[in-house]
Amino acid sequence: MEFGTALEKFREVGRLSNAYSHALGVLSFDSETIAPKNSVDGRAKTYEVFSEVMYKLTVNEEYFDVIDTLEKNADKLDEITAREVELASRSLSQIRKIPMEEYVEYQSTLAHAQNAWVEAKKTDDFELFAPHLERIIAFHKRVASLVSPEMDPYDYWLDEYEKGLDMKTLDAFFEKVRASLVPLIKRVAEKGDIIRTDFMQRSCPIEVQRRFSDYIMQVMHINRDDCAIAETEHPFTTEFNKHDVRITTHYHENSVVSNMYSVIHEGGHALYELNIGDELTGTALANGTSMSVHESQSRFYENIIGRSEPFIELIFPKIKEFFPEQFKDVCAHEFYLAVNKAQPSLIRTEADELTYALHIMVRYELEKRMMHGEVKVSELPSEWNRLYKEYLGVDVPSNSEGVLQDVHWSGGMIGYFPSYALGSAYGAQIVEVIKKELDFEALIRENRINEITAWLTEKIYKYGRLLRPCDAVKQATGQDFDPQYFIDYLTGKYTEIYGL
């Protein structure tokens, strides 16, 4: 094939792919936000058609030739196209090994799994979700065996979410984190219940919380003409391009803080996407580069900014305006302490920074064992509860607050969870450099978070997928990733808070 023809066909496939991905993304967002329950069958049919069309779009001799021609002429490609071709080639080498029928059937499985999970969580009935999860796990094993039979199936999926990541790296990372944090958590626990939290569960009308979310997005300098907010069972962020990003949250009448940190976390994901470079628009690189890097940003805003004292000082007067009765006897410092109280708990998304990694370790452990056939789906609830007792010392009262709490498995995300822990650790390393270059605390206190975002944009955001995930920390900090920063960050923060 001529180089020019190949490039043209590559662009055309990209244009079509963008449209299908956009439509599938909106269908999925719609299904989680507003679509009525019984819409699931119609949607599954459309997923099937689209996944079939998308499969055929790249799995054909002509497109193989396109990729081949472009790879052979890599020296003629500009930097952006070269990276697009690299990613397309990797993706093609995987998808072409999966029979179309299995690929298409799986999309339908996902449509039904999502509905089933919502229903299962609502009714606290794991059985409703179990057969769907079994199909999802089976598909993940199958794909790994088809695409990379030489790899461990869980390593295969870890590598999918973060190129180069494997169990060996993660085991070492979690071991190091655990070795440092468990004694720290113990020391904190020995200090006893010294942080006041009586005001944390006071009832705050959801209508007012909705307006409060708008305020929080404003503090984050999120342009609402480019970013919408909606409500879902489980908060998430989705994006179609840098001018169409959506975050979601979940309101709990009795926990204004739950929504607040969901909005800040998802807002962090959004800021990454909203600041992708314009030159990447329409290309396959116009997204955050990996889940770990993405989570490093969402958890950076949520914790390193959002749970800092300057941030609480900035927003607390507004909190008192929105909820005057609820917080009339509370000062900013008390609120700061309360949102940082370290206490082993049930729900990952509401966990404090110190114990958060333990929630991830439970999931990592279970995913690993499911992918290795060492734990059956039917045993999952009891294993979940056992590990929560062992790692966090808490009793799980129901599957809704246990194994069903997270959306990820129902969306087919096996291997995603470690991103959260890694991301948290990346953020701790990155903030050290920011603090050298900017007056970090002052910027937050003065409502100039956008200047921190601008720094991150220059180092990470604007590059989209042009930046390789493994290079992100290095590019931002000038050093290789080192989990010691994370341990030092948490040790410092909790030593101060608890006067250890």
CB of 101 to a second copy, least distance (A): 16
Site string for a second copy, 190-219 (x = CB under 8 A): -----------------x------------
- The residue length of the chain stands at 500
Q: Could you say whether residue 30 binds a second copy (CB under 8 A)?
A: yes
Q: Which of 105, 122, 320 is nearest to 234 (CA)?
A: 122
Instruction: Enumerate the H helices of 323-448 as residue ranges.
Output: 332-339, 353-371, 380-387, 418-437, 440-445
Which of these segments, 93-101, 178-186, 240-248, 325-333, binds a second copy (CB under 8 A)?
240-248
Q: Could you say whether residue 15 binds a second copy (CB under 8 A)?
A: yes
Q: Could you say whether residue 245 binds a second copy (CB under 8 A)?
A: yes
Which residue in 16, 59, 189, 346 binds a second copy (CB under 8 A)? 16
| 390 counts as catalytic | no
Write the Ramachandran bin of 33: left for phi over 0, alpha for psi from -120 to 50, otherwise beta: alpha
Are the beta carbons of 106 and 414 closer than 8 angstroms?
no
Q: Could you say whether residue 34 binds a second copy (CB under 8 A)?
A: yes
CB of 290 to a second copy, least distance (A): 23
Q: Could you say whether residue 119 binds a second copy (CB under 8 A)?
A: no
Strand-pairing partners, residue 245, are 227, 239
- DSSP-derived pairing of the beta strands 227-231 and 244-249: parallel
User: Helix, strand, or coil here: 438?
Assistant: coil
Which of these segments, 20-28, 61-69, 87-95, 102-110, binds a second copy (CB under 8 A)?
20-28
Are the beta carbons of 161 and 291 closer than 8 angstroms?
yes
Which of these segments, 28-36, 189-197, 293-301, 366-374, binds a second copy (CB under 8 A)?
28-36
CB of 122 to a second copy, least distance (A): 13
Spatial neighbors of 126 by CB under 8 A, at least 6 apart, are: 120, 380, 381, 399, 403, 404
CB of 21 to a second copy, least distance (A): 9
Q: What letter would DSSP give residue 303?
A: I
User: Helix, strand, or coil here: 147?
Assistant: helix
Q: Could you say whether residue 122 binds a second copy (CB under 8 A)?
A: no
Instruction: Enumerate the H helices of 34-77 as residue ranges.
Output: 40-58, 61-72
In the block, which residue shows the tokens 């969580």? 121
Q: Could you say whether residue 57 binds a second copy (CB under 8 A)?
A: no
Q: Which of 196, 179, 339 is nearest to 258 (CA)?
A: 339
Amino acid identity, residue 364? Y
How many residues sit close enough to a second copy to count as binding (CB under 8 A)? 41
Retrieve residue 377's tokens.
């789906």
Are the beta carbons of 326 and 203 closer than 8 angstroms?
yes
Q: Give the nearer residue to a second copy in terms of CB position, either 79 or 225.
A: 225
Spatial neighbors of 409 by CB under 8 A, at least 6 apart, are: 117, 133, 136
Which residue in 4, 8, 23, 168 binds a second copy (CB under 8 A)? 23
CB of 225 to a second copy, least distance (A): 4
Q: Could you say whether residue 103 binds a second copy (CB under 8 A)?
A: no
Q: Which of 32, 266, 309, 367 is catalytic?
A: 266
User: Helix, strand, or coil here: 244?
Assistant: strand
Q: Could you say whether residue 251 binds a second copy (CB under 8 A)?
A: no
Write the Ramachandran bin of 239: left for phi over 0, alpha for psi from -120 to 50, otherwise beta: beta
In the block, which residue shows the tokens 């440092």? 180
Q: Could you say whether residue 29 binds a second copy (CB under 8 A)?
A: yes
CB of 320 to a second copy, least distance (A): 22
Spatial neighbors of 458 by CB under 8 A, at least 6 apart, are: none
Which residue in 95, 228, 438, 454 binds a second copy (CB under 8 A)? 228
CB of 145 to a second copy, least distance (A): 30
Which of these segments, 45-53, 71-79, 419-427, 434-442, binds a second copy (CB under 8 A)?
45-53
Which residue in 1, 11, 26, 215 binds a second copy (CB under 8 A)? 26
CB of 483 to a second copy, least distance (A): 37
Which residue in 82, 230, 338, 346 binds a second copy (CB under 8 A)? 230
Which residue in 67, 195, 216, 227 binds a second copy (CB under 8 A)? 227
Cα–Cα dist 403/386, whole Å: 11
User: Helix, strand, or coil here: 437?
Assistant: helix
Q: Could you say whether residue 333 binds a second copy (CB under 8 A)?
A: no
Q: Could you say whether residue 322 binds a second copy (CB under 8 A)?
A: no
CB of 99 to a second copy, least distance (A): 20
Q: Could you say whether residue 376 binds a second copy (CB under 8 A)?
A: no
Which residue in 9, 10, 32, 50 binds a second copy (CB under 8 A)? 50
Instruction: Enumerate the H helices of 124-224 as residue ranges.
Output: 126-147, 153-161, 167-190, 206-219
Strand-pairing partners, residue 246, are 228, 238
Which residue in 39, 73, 145, 148 binds a second copy (CB under 8 A)? 39
H/E stretch holding 246:
strand 244-249
Q: Could you say whether residue 287 binds a second copy (CB under 8 A)?
A: no
Which residues are marked as active site?
266
Binding interface with a second copy (CB under 8 A): 15-16, 18-19, 22-24, 26-27, 29-30, 33-39, 41-43, 45-46, 49-50, 53, 207, 223-228, 230, 240-241, 243-246, 282
